[in-house]
Each structure stands twice: as structure tokens, then as C-alpha cells.
Amino acid sequence: MSKNVCMFVWNHFTNDARVLRECSSLVEAGYNVDLIAIHDRKNPQLKKKEERKEGFTVIRVNNQFPLLQMLLGAARRVKKSIPLQLLALVILGLGLWKLTVITLLVAVLLGLFVTPKARTFMVRGYIASQMVKYGLKKKYDIYHSNDLNTLPQGITCAKILRRKKLVYDSHEVQTSRTGYNSPIYGIMEKLYIKFTDVMIAENHTRAKYTEDLYKLYPQVVHNYPFVVKPELSQSVNLHEKLNIPSTEPILLYQGGVQVGRGLDKLIEAAPLFKRGVLVFIGDGRIKPQLQKMVKEQGLEDRVKFLAKVPVEDLMHYTKNAYLGFQVLNNICFNHYSASSNKLFEYMMSAVPVIACSFPEIQKVVESEKVGVCVDSHDPVSIAEGVNYLLDHPEERERMSHNCYQAREKYNWNNEKEIFIDIYKKLA
């Protein structure tokens, strides 16, 4: 009899390659899988329930808290039309009125003073409660929480309200990552992992870090992509799409446009490149800032931007590149310890990399001879790595050929056996 798996992820599940691989592999192995994600109110085309071609179901919960929206809407209208002092006097004069009226007015007053942080907390709590609701709708045998922000939902379903197995799949270092500076994350993780049956980490550097913190060495499942052979399929012509002369090499960064990924350093390095056009494929918080930087420096002909593309189409863009960048900055242990799916995506497309000299990334790049490691904090060092590959096309071709061999080693077809074995032992 096949086992039922409920997986949680705190995103819209539109570009999450790792979760897609894990769900697909579980289906292949005979499990019934439901993935509970978050709906995007800004994207009405996104389905709240989606039957994926890979054989699993995606359920997206509401990311709007209706009561809170109503409360804040009323508060805004009151604030525009009635002075706060007058409103306070009205409430004081309501001693003999019905309690419901007082409650309503107090709620509106509270709405006037709800801070952005409190609002975020309330919305996140609402989303989490919706996830738990759907997580209890079926008889699941195993619950799977991706990252710390879905672990409370997993614990609630698997350990508090039911007695089932719980997998904690930590894609990031929760106690040292950008945007997660509060010590509360470490306190929460230390408490929560006591309820889990298995913890998964992305590589051994991160597993050792977890062991030092919590005396627990997680199972390791590397973030390798599916084996693809984009050289056998039709590509998207990036030169034509971005109006780049065919003689100019494309120097590619693909992925999230976020803080700490060395993207500002790439733009600073761009004027030092002997040839080529720097292309960013992706979206993110600092994209407008980078575009402004390019405009101010007059680099519009040397730097181009393209919106993110679906993960299944990305390889058709990647293979246009002469080289790819993975230049994370060492701003937290999460970056320093990354294996980086991006590195392996370049490898699948036989694109050599200019990479940061961090342990997991450097180990692969130098042992497989698929690129050049540089000081990712220094635009001059980045430019030297780029210019070396521009000046030595024969070396670049050797590295490209090495990618074909390396991708037979660093791929999900091999790694998924480890992942499925974890589930077999749980069951």
C-alpha cells in the first residue's frame, strides 16, 4: 500500500527546483504527494489547486487574512474621515450602547495602530493556520517541512494533532543567513528539531555546522539538478533577444537578484572585461538598484537584464553563455557554505564558471576543472578571471568539455537514491 506524503513549502511554488525534484522522485518511488504552498494574490492566473504533470498535487493557501484586511480597510477609512480625538470621545460616550458596537470601534482603533511588523506576524499566522488545516484534511503517513518557516506546521500536524513521521528539510542555514539576524531563529530551530524524525541538510559543511550547534548530524542530500542535455534541444537566441552582436560573448548570471550575491561587484567589474556583455536573468529585491547603477555608469550596452524564466526553460537560455557567474559574498555562513544549484545548472549546459572561493563550490570547480575561482568581493579579481577565459578560448573549451563529464556525477539521478532511501527507512 502506497504512503501518503504532505509536504509544506513557504513560497508560491513557481520556481522551486529542489522541491520539484523531491516531489517528483517521491511520486516515482510510489508515494502519493500533496504539496501545500502559498497562493500569490498578485497572480490571479496561478491555480489554487494544481495537478502537476509529474504526478503530485499542489494546494496553494490564501495569503490574505480577510478579517485583518477588513479591519485595516475600516481603519483607513475612519482615519481619513474622523479625527482620532473625536473617535475617542464617541467611544467614551457609548457606555450604554451594545457591547458589539464598542467591540467594533475598539477593533477599528486597534487597526489604526497595527504596526507593519504586527501585520506581517498576523498574516503569517493566518497562512500557517491554513497550511495546518489542509495538512489535516487527509490521512498522511509522513509530513515534510521545507525550511524552518514550515516546521511549526509540520510539528502541529505530525506530532501534536497526530502521531506521524516528520522530515525537516533545511535548504538554508537558518541561524546565519541574510534577513534572519535575530537569535530567535536559532532558539526555535533548537527546540523544533527535537520533534523531527529526520533532518536533511544540503551538504556536509552545513551538516557539520548543525552538529556543532545541536549535537545532531543531519542526513545529506545535495542540491543537484536533473540530468539535462540542452545541447540536444533548441535554444533561445539571447543575442537576438537582447540585441547583442553575435561576436560578443554572453557573460551570464542567472538566479535571484538579491543582496549578498556579488551582483554589484559584477557591475563594477564589467568595464574591466576585455569583451562581452554581462546578462542577468532573474528578478529580486535589488534589481531596480542594479539597473540604476548601470544607468548611472553608462553601461547599458555592456549590461543587460532579463526577467526570470520558468525553471524548466532556463537551460535553453543558459547554453548561450560563454561563461557563468556564481560569486556569492561571505556575508553569512549560509552563503559561505553553499553548494549552489546554480553552479550545477551551468555545468549541465557545459558553461564554465567564474566562482567564489568558498569550500563546497571551490571543491567542485577545481577538482572537476570546470571554471576559475576568484575573490568574489573584489571586482578586479572577478575581471581577471573573466579575462583569463576570454584570452584563452582553448582552455575555456577544455573546461566546457569537462562539464559534460562532471554532470554525470553531480546530478539528481544519483542523489535521489539517497533521498528515497531516507523515506524507506522512515516507512
pLDDT (0 to 100) of residue 147 = 94
Residues in the chain where the model's pLDDT stays below 70: 1, 65-116, 118
Q: Which amino acid is at 282?
A: G
Q: Are strands 57-61 and 49-51 parallel, antiparallel or unpaired?
A: antiparallel
Instruction: Read off the DSSP letter of residue 156.
Output: I
Query: What is the topology classification, in CATH, of domain 4-64+119-224+416-426?
Result: Rossmann fold (3.40.50)
* Core vs surface per residue 176-209: b (16+ CB within 10 A) or e: bbeebeeeebbebbeebbebbbbbbbbbbbbbeb
Alpha helical stretches, state H, 82-227: 84-92, 99-112, 116-135, 151-155, 184-192, 204-214
Distances (CA, A) of 340 to 93, 174, 223, 261: 63, 16, 7, 11
Rounded Cα distance between 346 and 318, Å, is 7
pLDDT (0 to 100) of residue 89 = 47
CATH 3.40.50.2000 segments of the chain = 4-64+119-224+416-426, 230-410
Map residue 121 onto helix, strand or coil: helix
pLDDT (0 to 100) of residue 353 = 98
Asked if 6 and 145 count as a contact pair (C-beta separation under 8 A), the reply is no
Distances (CA, A) of 180 to 146, 187, 188, 316, 423: 16, 12, 12, 34, 30
pLDDT (0 to 100) of residue 110 = 52
The DSSP secondary structure of 106-120, one letter per residue, reads: HHHHHHHT--HHHHH
Residue 260, phi then psi, degrees to nearest 5: 85, 5
**The three cell numbers locating residue 75:** 481603519
pLDDT (0 to 100) of residue 231 = 79
State the pTM of this model: 0.83
Which CATH architecture fits 230-410?
3-Layer(aba) Sandwich (3.40)
Rounded Cα distance between 374 and 396, Å, is 16
pLDDT (0 to 100) of residue 17 = 86
